Amino acid sequence: MRDLLLTLDTSTEITAVGLGWLADETIETAASAIVDAPRAAMSRVLPTAASLLAGAGRSVREVSAVVVGRGPGSFTGVRIGVATAKGLAHGLGVPLWGVGTLDAIAWGMAANHPMLLGVLGDAMRGEVYPALFRCRHGRAERMAPDRVAKPADVALEWAQLGEPMTLVGNGLRKYAPLLTDALGDAATIAAEELWVPTARGLFRAFAAARCTGQLGSGDAGELLPIYTRLSDAEEAEERRAGAEPPPSGVAGDLS
């Protein structure tokens, strides 16, 4: 018997949605969509899912589990994707599984050929989400945990590895020259359509985590997004909490 999976990721400016059939250890992607939806994921993700289900002649009630990209990426985008997936899983009474957005990008690339892959997500504020993967035998082996960093630091760090590297990720729109200057002939920039997560990449990352027992409980209430740092509001709150009281006669900032 095959289970119908619904996957989605709204962590980048692209909304990725897909349907897949899970049988034993394999997932067959049945339908997928990539929607260019900057600042519009909330209004596009569910209609896109409904359209894919209708096109496949399936009802949402046939979905056996939901797979969501947990980030890192746009704070708002990550929240939209995780909240939407939680709502769907709760409403349908099915498990919710999460995979890293950068992992999904890497797994989408892994079947191409053996490579050292650098995924560079745009973290805004002049920062990036860097992740390194060793791709071989159709698999993407993560080499370091998610983090946030300055692009120049990442460029220096990756250049010091001294080996050819393929680069992907929406952070390249801003920082490709910095990376290629540092890596020189060792850098190869993948085609731009490969820079974002896809249903295929999400399903492949899910299948890999499933095989290694890294998926968690499947409880929608327990699934957490990957942020790697505090939001602007949380950082402002921490600054307010740790700030020295204003001098006598000077009002504090109440904004």
pLDDT digits (tens, 9 = 90+) for 27-51: 999 999 999 988 889 999 999 999 9
Arithmetic mean of pLDDT over the chain: 90
191-228 residue pLDDT tens: 999 999 999 999 999 999 998 888 889 999 999 999 98
The string of pLDDT tens digits covering residues 84-97 is 999 999 999 999 99
Assess contact for 8 and 15: CB atoms under 8 A.
yes
Cis peptide before 72 (omega within 30 of 0): yes
pTM of the model: 0.89
Scan for tokens 């049988």, then name that residue: 23
Task: Report which of 57, 39, 144, 41 is spatially closest to residue 100, judged by C-alpha positions.
Answer: 144
Q: For domain 103-194, say whether CATH 3.40.50.720 is its number.
A: no
- Please check the confidence at residue 248 and state whether its pLDDT lies above 50: no
**Distance, CA of 209 to CA of 78 (rounded, Å):** 20
Give me 209's structure tokens. 């985590």
Cβ pair 5, 58 in contact under 8 A = no
Gyration radius (Cα) of the chain, Å: 20
Answer whether residue 26 shows pLDDT above 90. no
- 139-142 and 127-136 beta bridge pairing: antiparallel
Fold designation for 3-101+197-230: Nucleotidyltransferase; domain 5 (3.30.420)
Q: Where are the domains of the chain?
A: 3-101+197-230, 103-194
Task: Give 134-190 pLDDT, tens digit per residue.
Answer: 999 999 999 999 999 999 999 999 999 999 999 999 999 999 999 999 999 999 999
Q: Closest Cα partner for 9 from 87, 140, 98, 92? A: 98
